[in-house]
Amino acid sequence: MSLKDSMDPRIEELLPFYALDALTDEERELVDSYLAEHPEVREQMKDLHAGASALPYGVLPVVPPRKVKESLMARVNADAKARVYSSTPRQPSRPILPGVRGENIIRTFTLGVATLAIVWVIILNTQISQLRNEISGLHETLAAQSSSLEQIIANLPKSPPSNVITVSLRGTNVQPRAHGQLVVDPNEQSAILIVSGLPKLEANKTYQVWLINGGAPVSAGLLSIDENGQGVVIVTSNESIGSFKALAISVEPQGGSPQPTGDIVVSNDL
């Protein structure tokens, strides 16, 4: 019996469009599952992919104007500098303006800063005095609450020790407002991911969570975001979460991608 005879006819219909990356999310998942279970079909898939991957070369190349590259490289070089500054300790700044005019500007600027600093110190002293009084009151309240808490803890039933930890996550330069937490037992294969500050995506896009251990990023699920920019997802993996070095979230076409292709909006070491 040939491969063609034995193949699920529905899958056979989908394969060319899988190669062309033009399936719906459900159809793509169906083919992914089938390929995982039927490695013998991959050779046929390889041929279809070969045909599809040549299509970009079939368009007429269009020579871009020089301004596009200049604009891109200016953006890239500015970003490269920002990365260097953010990864190295800042050096004490030196005046760079040459000559008398530069010195005068610096002197005026220094005088202004000193005046502001004096005013600021006076305001701070007043505030510190008020805060001391408040702290004194809070100490008394805290002592009373600590005593109650100790009593409550003493009465609690003894529970087994937990390895659950919380990892704080932060947004990349693409989404600096994004932040979140991963609640995880490193020995387990699942964890809870809570994210805030992400914009809602267009209907044909989705956020995809990745776990990275030095090799290929492993998809750990899709993340839906509500109107308030918040989302919760249970991250799952075939390996313990503790075996991964990093977690990232990227923007992908609906249904997700085999590997990240869009903007990385969250990226953190674990």
Binding site for another protein (CB under 8 A): 13, 15-17, 19-24, 47-48, 50-66, 68-73, 75-77, 79-80, 83, 172-174, 202, 204-205, 210, 215-217, 248, 250, 253, 258-264
DSSP for 123-165, written as a single string: HHHHHHHHHHHHHHHHHHHHHHHHHHHHHHHHHSPP------E
Pick the closest to residue 201 from 165, 235, 250 (CA basis): 250
Q: Tell me how far, at minimum, the Cβ of 231 lies from another protein, in Å.
A: 20
Name the residue nearer to another protein (CB basis): 91 or 204.
204
Residues 6+ positions from 225 with CB-CB distance below 8 Å: 195, 198, 199, 200, 201, 207, 231
Name the residue nearer to another protein (CB basis): 56 or 157.
56
Pairwise CA distance, residues 82 & 136, whole Å: 44
Name the residue nearer to another protein (CB basis): 23 or 223.
23
Q: Tell me how far, at minimum, the Cβ of 265 lies from another protein, in Å.
A: 10
Name the residue nearer to another protein (CB basis): 15 or 178.
15
Name the residue nearer to another protein (CB basis): 86 or 126.
86
Pairwise CA distance, residues 141 & 149, whole Å: 12
DSSP state of 202: P
Q: Tell me how far, at minimum, the Cβ of 242 lies from another protein, in Å.
A: 21
Q: Tell me how far, at minimum, the Cβ of 210 lies from another protein, in Å.
A: 7
Q: Give the type of residue at 166.
A: T
Q: Tell me how far, at minimum, the Cβ of 19 lies from another protein, in Å.
A: 6
